[in-house]
Amino acid sequence: MSTSLRFSNVDKTYSRPGGAEDPVLRDFSLEVAPGELVAIVGPSGIGKSTLLHLAAGLEAPDRGSVAIAGARAEPRIGMVFQQARLFDWLNVADNVAVAVNAASANIKRARQMLSAVGLGRHTHSYPLSLSGGQRQRVALARAFAIEPDVVLLDEPFSALDELTARRLRLLLQDLWTEHRPSGLLVTHNTLEAAFLADRVVVLAGKPARIARIVDVHRSRPRQAEDAQFFELHREILATLEHGASW
Amino acid sequence: MTVLSERDVAGAPRRVVVPLRVAAALLSRALPGVLFCVLVVAGWHVMAVRWHSPLIPDIDAIGAAVAGIVTSGDAAMQIGTTLGRIVLGLLLAFVVALIVGLASARNRFARAFFEPALLLGLTVPGLVWALLCVIWFGLSLKTSVIAIALGIAPALAVNLAQGLEAVDPQLIETAHVYRLRFWQRLRVLWLPAILPFLMAGMRLAFSLAWKVVVLVEVFGLSTGVGYALNSAFISQDVAAVLAWTLVFALVVAAIEYGLFQVVERRLTQWKRKALV
């Protein structure tokens, strides 16, 4: 895929109850190159999820632009949220198929992706009968089954136990290596950001600005035990702590 | 008949039929209701024998009246007429409720605008709508249809609005991100989410509708269960009044158990499958 995601001079301000203005982003610019996964880290409420909402078209910027430039006239966006956000009344296969149909992608992809995420035997199960990890696998399958140009990940593993989260990070890495969409990963877990991303963007201040961009020079597949990720994790944390004092 | 599934020694699923257990379960479920009915019939019989009054006909007389209206085909014709009016009234009410409920759920101004009408509609008794419609529209089909619609549309609209407001905004976002088309959103998001409210609203509407239509038929129509009840009342035929009430109540119960509950079970079977 040769799709890039670009934020150009974006302003975003929310109106709080009582009329107070809360500027979240001002003159924010960032480009995600084709096939690149950029992680966004920063304190709570700084505007990380706002970036994802802008990229997904759920919100519009007050100023500036968010553009997805690629081969398709209407880019396909896959999104994985903190909660799986599945339709409880549809079985696993239908949850994926409905997104695939909406994207006019090949319906065979739904089953293939479910097998790829290890849920080939659960296609007729309903989300309520699955564990949190399995539901998140379905959400990943849905995001990648549409053959996405862009994948947006909003703290996708933060609600899971560490062992499950670790497995799903490896699964995400495999899916990314195979499909190579462009993407944004919002996370509070700096080690996760270092392990998964090609670049880690550290946000600080109010309105948010880029405090630092950390490049991760490691090809995939990566090993979670690689010492470099722990090194980067410490660097990112130090930047965050420094940013908190601004 | 319930079929339980268990695994045999080799681990393959094996189906085991247990009709006795099913029969016992059905019996224990039906027993309290059956007991209540038996006690009511027995109590009525004791009263009828004790007072021996034409105002309290005995069980045999009521049974004969029931058999009379059923075998003559009168019950089928009059109840069919009444149910036809109810269906038309429900359809009209549903269209109105859909418009009002949708607008109220999606727009704050519309909600405030319709609020007095809904409040008024919920508090005005069906009797008032029945009287007004007979006065306004005279002896015609539209009298009963409009009276039913006026009587039940507010309750239906409130239920629909509550259902629409209860749809998970996170799922709406998800549908937006994945660019689900209008019909897909309707099929996989809106309808399943509002279904419990819709079913509750339809049940409430149905129970209100038949009370309103019977009143309209009593006051101004020459067919239907209400008309038959009124005829029996005028001739002071208590057995016939009870017979019509019994037969109509049985039909209403059959619709509740044979239609509403079956449809609801069918539409919510995913819950049972999910919890297995």
ipTM: 0.93
pLDDT for residue B9 is more than 60: no
Average pLDDT, chain B: 88
B66 and B47 in a common domain: no
Residue A195 to residue A231: CA distance in whole angstroms: 11
> C-alpha angle with apex A67: A65 to A73, nearest 5 degrees?
140
> Do the chains contact at B270 and A91, CB–CB below 8 Å?
yes
Whether residue B112 is contained in a domain is answered as yes
B241 and B171 in a common domain: yes
In sequence order, the 6+-apart residues with CB closer than 8 A to the CB of B16 are B3, B4, B5, B6
Q: What CATH number corresponds to the domain at position B193?
A: 1.10.3720.10
Give me the tens of pLDDT residue by residue for chain A, a chain 246 residues long. 578 999 999 999 998 888 888 999 999 999 999 999 999 999 998 999 999 999 999 999 999 999 998 868 889 999 999 999 999 999 999 999 999 999 888 888 889 999 999 999 999 999 999 999 999 999 999 999 999 999 999 999 999 999 999 999 999 999 999 999 999 999 999 999 999 999 999 999 889 999 999 999 989 999 988 899 999 999 999 988 887 655
pLDDT-based confidence at B18, cuts 50/70/90? low
Q: What is the DSSP letter of A16?
A: P
pLDDT-based confidence at B16, cuts 50/70/90? low
| Paired tokens of A69 | 């430039």
Residue in this structure with the two tokens 């209403």, named with its chain if needed: B252
pLDDT for residue B17 is more than 80: no
Domain that holds residue B19: 3-52
> Do the chains contact at B170 and A128, CB–CB below 8 Å?
no
Residue A71 to residue A51: CA distance in whole angstroms: 22
Domain A1-75+186-246 carries which CATH code? 3.40.50.300
pLDDT for residue B13 is more than 60: no
Query: What pLDDT is attached to residue B5?
Result: 37
B66 and B48 in a common domain: no
3-state secondary structure of A71: coil
B198 and B156 in a common domain: yes
Whether residue B110 is contained in a domain is answered as yes
Interface contacts (A, B; CB < 8 Å): 65
Structural domain total, chain B:
2
Whether residue B57 is contained in a domain is answered as no
Query: What pLDDT is attached to residue B3?
Result: 35
Comparing alpha-carbon positions, the chain A residue that sits nearest to B180 is A102
pLDDT for residue B1 is more than 70: no
- Cβ–Cβ under 8 Å, residues B1 and B19: yes
B42 and B126 in a common domain: no
Q: What is the pLDDT of residues B131-151, one digit of tens each?
A: 999 999 988 899 999 999 999
Residue A32 to residue B272: CA distance in whole angstroms: 45
Q: In sequence order, what are the beta bridge partners of B5?
A: B15
Please report, for chain A, the start and end positions of each structural domain, with discontinuous segments joined by +.
Answer: 1-75+186-246
> Do the chains contact at A126 and B270, CB–CB below 8 Å?
yes
Query: What pLDDT is attached to residue A19?
Result: 81
Q: What is the DSSP letter of A208?
A: B
> Do the chains contact at B275 and A129, CB–CB below 8 Å?
yes
pLDDT > 70: percent of chain B: 93
B231 and B139 in a common domain: yes
Residue A64 to residue A12: CA distance in whole angstroms: 9
B189-203 average pLDDT score: 90
What Cα–Cα distance (Å) separates residue A102 from each residue in B178, B191, B193? 7, 18, 19
B26 and B122 in a common domain: no
Query: What pLDDT is attached to residue A118?
Result: 92
> Do the chains contact at A87 and B188, CB–CB below 8 Å?
yes
Residue from A156, A126, A130, A125 nearest A143 by CA: A156
Query: What pLDDT is attached to residue B235?
Result: 92
Whether residue B92 is contained in a domain is answered as yes
pLDDT for residue B4 is more than 60: no
- A142 interfaces chain B, CB cutoff of 8 Å: yes
Residues of chain B with C-beta less than 8 angstroms from the C-beta of A99: 178, 180
Q: Which of residues 160-199 of B touch A (CB under 8 A)?
A: 170-171, 173-174, 176-181, 184, 188-189, 192
Q: Which of residues 71-90 of A touch B (CB under 8 A)?
A: 74, 77-79, 81, 83, 85, 87-90
A42-45: Cβ within 8 A, 24+ apart: A42/A202, A42/A203, A42/A204, A42/A208, A42/A211, A42/A240, A42/A243, A43/A203, A43/A204, A43/A240, A43/A243, A43/A244, A44/A188
Q: What is the 3-state secondary structure (H, E, C) of chain B?
A: CCEEEEECCCCCEEEEECHHHHHHHHHHHHHHHHHHHHHHHHHHHHHHHHHCCCCCCCHHHHHHHHHHHHHCCHHHHHHHHHHHHHHHHHHHHHHHHHHHHHHHHHCHHHHHHHHHHHHHHHHCCHHHHHHHHHHHHCCCHHHHHHHHHHHHHHHHHHHHHHHHHCCCHHHHHHHHHCCCCHHHHHHHHHHHHHHHHHHHHHHHHHHHHHHHHHHHHHHHCCCCHHHHHHHHHHCCCHHHHHHHHHHHHHHHHHHHHHHHHHHHHHHCHHHHHHHC
3-state secondary structure of A2: coil
Residue in this structure with the two tokens 């039906």, named with its chain if needed: B30
Residue A131 main-chain phi, psi, to 5 deg = -75, 170
Nearest to A98 among B170, B177, B184 (CB): B184
Query: What pLDDT is attached to residue A1?
Result: 53
Orientation angle between helical segments B191-220 and B238-255, nearest 10 degrees: 160
B246 and B193 in a common domain: yes
- A128 interfaces chain B, CB cutoff of 8 Å: yes
B70 and B40 in a common domain: no
pLDDT > 90: percent of chain B: 66
pLDDT-based confidence at B273, cuts 50/70/90? confident
Comparing alpha-carbon positions, the chain A residue that sits nearest to B267 is A89
pLDDT for residue B59 is more than 70: yes
pTM summary value: 0.80
B134 and B29 in a common domain: no
Nearest to B270 among A56, A81, A89 (CB): A89
| Paired tokens of B103 | 């607008």
Whether residue B199 is contained in a domain is answered as yes
B45 and B77 in a common domain: no
pLDDT for residue B79 is more than 70: yes
Query: What pLDDT is attached to residue B275?
Result: 77
In angstroms, the first-to-last Cα distance of chain B is 18
Mean pLDDT is lowest, of A36-45, A113-122, B102-111, B265-274, for: B265-274
Residues of chain B with C-beta less than 8 angstroms from the C-beta of A66: none
Q: Which amino acid is at B75?
A: A
Query: What pLDDT is attached to residue B8?
Result: 39
